Amino acid sequence: MKDSLSSQDRHALIQWRLEKADNLMIVSRSLMDMEQYNSAMNRVYYAVFSAACALLLSHKIGPQTHNGVYQMLSLHFVREGKIDKVHLSHYSQILSARQKADYDDYVEYDQDTAELYYRYAQEIIEAFRNALL
C-alpha cells in the first residue's frame, strides 16, 4: 500500500506519524508523572518507532518489521553519516527496555531510567526530523 501512495498522501502520512510520535511522548510523560515507568518505556519506544517510520517513508523505504526498521536506519542513515550512530545505539537500548518492560517478569523501571530514555527519545526524534526529505 505505501508503495502506491501519491506524493501528497506520503507527505500526509509522514506528518501523521510525526504527530503520533509527539503525542506518544506526551503520554509517556504523563505515565512517568503517575510513576508508571514500565508503561512509559513502552510509549517512549513507540514514539521513536513512529518517527523512524516517518523518516524511512520520507525516503521511500518500507520495512515490514521492528527489526527491519532498525536495520534500514543503520543501512541508509548511520552508515551514510546522516544520523549519528549514538542515536541508533540509544534506539536499540530503548527497544530492549521496552521488550523487558512488556515481557519480562519482575522488571520494574525507575524514574531515573525512564527519564534517561525519555531524553534519548527526544534526541532521536529530533535527529529523525532533521534527516527527513
Nearest by Cα to 52 from 116, 125, 118, 121? 125
pLDDT values of the chain reduced to their tens digit, one per residue, 133 residues: 456 788 999 999 999 999 999 999 999 999 999 999 999 999 999 999 999 999 999 999 988 899 999 999 999 999 999 999 999 999 999 999 999 999 999 999 999 999 999 999 999 999 999 999 7
Question: Helix axis angle, 85-103 relative to 111-130, nearest 10°?
Answer: 140
Q: Pull the grid cell for residue 36.
A: 508508571
Q: Is residue 127 within 8 Å of 87, Cβ to Cβ?
A: yes
Question: Helix axis angle, 37-58 relative to 7-33, nearest 10°?
Answer: 160
